Amino acid sequence: MKNLFIDSNIWLSLYHFTNDDLVQFGKLKELNGTDIKLFVPQQVYDEVKRNRGAKLKEAFKQFEIRPIQFPVFCKDYEEYEQFSNDYKSIIQRHKAWKEKIDTDIKNQSLPADKTINEIFETTTLLECDSVVEKAFNRYRIGNPPGKDDKYGDAINWECLLSSIPDGEDLYLISSDKDYRSDLFDDMINPFLEEEWKCKKHSNIFFYKNLVPFLNDHFRDIQLRSEQEKQELISKLTHSPNFLSTHGVIAMMCKYDGWTESQIEDICLAAETNSQVGWILGDTDVLDFYSRLLSRVKYEDLSDCATSRVMETVFVSVSQRKAETEADYKAEADEAAEEFFRH
């Protein structure tokens, strides 16, 4: 298992511009706890939550469409009318898109929010209060990492030194220049490397973003994971009985990051195989399909298995909720009657 630290700037890049994407972080979630041990200091968590708004505001400035003015001499060309209509349509669609994004920002429900929160929720945050004084001292005497009048990076570094067991290597991902060598962008600061080797008796490896790290160490695991997912889809599609379906669903719950085509195949299995479709309302099956479809935008779908199963799942979830509320009310009425009887 590889010890991994991802700096705040990498997490925050999901609210800005980055060569990484949510798919890569979805793979990270699958690997965390099995092939990767992710170390998240409380300082990193706080920085991500604290700076989310500023990053989104800055990125949104680049997400504007500037008004176009058409000189008079352009309007006599045959292209003018079509282009003008297309431009108006783009403006309207862009406005509607921004409004949808604004709503998700306010509700903390951006895809990036969901991905980051899911990873953080499955990771134990490292306490940092005990290393603040050490971090301030290294900042005060000029030792890296640190910049300007801030020593958040120093807190993270001291936290890693105190938390990772001696003799175990660390993989550090950061786009922050404070961790990098002044001479070589793809190498860690030699002062930090020497300090790590002396204090931890192990090696430290530096990456500027997540993709190269995953490609270097987990390409085979990712391929194997995708193969296993495809095999499970096939087993679900050809499940011979209810018992087999429940077993396959239990295995599928261990995976995440399903592609659109995989989701369509899973939904198709519910439509074409009665040993799946007939028990779609069973708790474990319904819960799996509900989670699977939770990020799918129904309004963006054509008439397909995914959209049809989404409708069925929505009805089943609504019925279950109504039944639960009815059962609760019945139990409450019974309890009240028993209370007043005595």
> Is-contact 258 266, C-beta < 8 A?
yes
Identify the three-state secondary structure at position 37.
strand
- Tell me what pLDDT residue 178 has: 87
What's the pLDDT tens digit per position in 195-245?
A: 999 999 999 999 998 888 988 888 766 667 788 899 999 999 999 999 999
Amino acid letter, residue 329: K
pTM over 0.85: no
Neighbours of 203 (CB within 10 A): 12
**Is the pLDDT at 254 greater than 50, yes or no?**
yes
pLDDT score of 323: 63
Average pLDDT over residues 54-58: 93
> Which regions of the chain carry the CATH code 3.40.50?
2-62+114-212
Give the model's confidence band at 147: pLDDT under 50 very low, under 70 low, under 90 confident, else very high: confident
Sign of CA dihedral 141, 143, 145, 148: positive
Contact 14, 210 (CB under 8 A): no
Strand partners, 118: none
- pLDDT above 60: residue 62: yes
Q: Given a cut of 90, is residue 36 above it in pLDDT?
A: yes
Q: Which fold has domain 2-62+114-212?
A: Rossmann fold (3.40.50)
Tokens of residue 33, six digits: 């706890």
Q: For residues 75 and 147, what is the distance between their CA atoms, to the nearest angstrom?
A: 54
Angle at 147 between CA 146 and CA 151, to 5 degrees: 50
**Higher pLDDT pick, 135 / 220:** 135
Mean pLDDT, the chain, integer: 88
Instruction: Give the pairing type, strands 204-207 and 36-41.
Output: unpaired
pLDDT at 339: 44
